[in-house]
Amino acid sequence: MKISDFDYHLPEELIAQKPADKRDCSRLLVVHRDTGAVEHRHFFDILDYLKEGDCLVLNDSKVLPARLYGEKEKTGAKVEFLLTRRVNGDIWETMVKPGKRLKPGDSVMFSRSPLLRAEIKDFGPGGTRLAEFQYDGVFMERLEELGSMPLPPYIERASDIDDKERYQTVYCKDEGSVAAPTAGLHFTEELLEEAEKKGVELIYVTLHVGIGTFRPVKCENVEEHTMHFEEYSISDESARAINKAKREGRRIISVGTTSTRTVESAAYFAEGVQAGSVDAVKGQMPDGAVAGDGCWQVRSGEGSTGIFIYPGYEFKIVDSLITNFHLPKSTLLMLISALYDREKILEIYEEAVRERYRFFSYGDAMLIL
């Protein structure tokens, strides 16, 4: 496959620069794979497509206010940090602007009272720096006070106070992402409560979205692309819930590509696991299991995934997907093209452009059934 196979024309004015006035007032394009039918709805209508027994798998990672503005202590020159990953303790991998000005031994002051400063310890991968922070009190509290939300590069404005709320899901709890799991941004607390009342099971997993999510595919041949790695975790409770649903033939609806990559990364084929067995959580054969028939399950635990899903991939866990509209030639567009026919996905994207849907992180949503 060629990278050009995943290209489409997107007018710049359709790239959403702000979120919808209310989370669930964004538009929703519904795709029925069995018939090819397409519906144009709003996200608050999504309960019309969910039924009792369905499982929504949601990524509860929280976005760090990872962009910091400071001054080089020696010269007073303006410096911008984007924290991308905690290496250990108070040492973070960070992207810096302007990169040429910061070398090992340099220090940057972000605030004198309460203190937040960083010393460059070494060069990191991909032009990053390894910076050690010194601070008063609790680091995450200083970051919350002084940091800005790391909006994607296609949002051509500075982040504001509203982004600290709207660029987070209402169910986020585990800090570590530098980009939001955007499919979840459309859910309100009330909508999730109504889903549960309808008998929909909410299952939470965690994948910390890294800066590599914005990295373009540079290979002409898609198969030659190497994905970035991201950390994920699945609790025993969540694994049990997913596995029980799979054994019972209930529908797993993934909220976003990050949730999808998490559960597909943790998938394994459990031979002899039949309905009613509750032991297959950590990838171990349950007592009394018989080799032969079985079903796909997920392992609980922590891991790092570089899974690359593109057409030809056979999904093990996910049955349906809620997702935003993705960039041309992106790995995320390739992922949804693996769930449904690539040519049909591109036709649907063309229809979304004609219908003036809003694209990317703060844009509208798609439900692939």
pLDDT digits (tens, 9 = 90+) for 232-242: 999 999 999 99
Which band of pLDDT confidence, cut at 50, 70 and 90, is reported for residue 11?
very high
Taking 50 as the threshold, does the pLDDT of residue 145 lie above it? Answer: yes
- Domain 67-146: state its class: mainly beta
**Cβ–Cβ under 8 Å, residues 310 and 232:** no
Radius of gyration, CA atoms only, the chain:
22
Which band of pLDDT confidence, cut at 50, 70 and 90, is reported for residue 293?
low
Which tens digit of pLDDT belongs to each residue from 182-208? 999 999 999 999 999 999 999 999 999
Side-chain half-sphere exposure of 243, counting CA atoms within 13 A:
30
Return the CATH number of 3-63+168-368, one of 3.40.1780.10, 3.40.50.720, 1.10.150.120, 3.40.50.150. Answer: 3.40.1780.10
Bridge partners of 230, per DSSP, are 305
Pairing state between β 91-97 and 267-271 = unpaired
Same fold, 3-63+168-368 and 67-146: no
Q: What is the pTM of this model?
A: 0.91
Question: CB-based burial of residue 170 (10 Å sphere; 0-12 exposed, 13-18 middle, 19+ buried)?
Answer: middle
**Percentage of the residues of the chain whose pLDDT score is greater than 70:** 94
Which band of pLDDT confidence, cut at 50, 70 and 90, is reported for residue 294?
confident
Which tens digit of pLDDT belongs to each residue from 64-117? 999 999 999 999 999 999 999 999 999 999 999 988 889 999 999 999 999 999
3-state helix, strand, coil in the chain (%, to 5): 25, 30, 45
Helix (H) or strand (E) holding 125: none
Mean pLDDT of the chain: 93
What whole-number distance in Å separates Cα of residue 247 and Cα of residue 304? 26
DSSP 232-297: EEE-HHHHHHHHHHHHTT--EEEESHHHHHHHHHTEEEEET--TT---TTSSPPPTT--SS-EEEE
ω into 286 cis (within 30 of 0):
no
Which tens digit of pLDDT belongs to each residue from 161-179? 999 999 999 999 999 999 9
Higher pLDDT, 100 or 293: 100
**Percentage of the residues of the chain whose pLDDT score is greater than 90:** 88
- pLDDT of 290 reads 39
Domain edges within the chain = 3-63+168-368, 67-146
Pairing state between β 267-271 and 294-298 = antiparallel
Give the contacts of 341 (CB within 8 A, at least 6 positions apart): none
- pLDDT of 126 reads 84
Taking 80 as the threshold, does the pLDDT of residue 284 lie above it? Answer: no
- pLDDT of 14 reads 99
Which tens digit of pLDDT belongs to each residue from 305-344? 999 999 999 999 999 999 999 999 999 999 999 999 999 9
Which band of pLDDT confidence, cut at 50, 70 and 90, is reported for residue 214?
confident
Which band of pLDDT confidence, cut at 50, 70 and 90, is reported for residue 271?
low
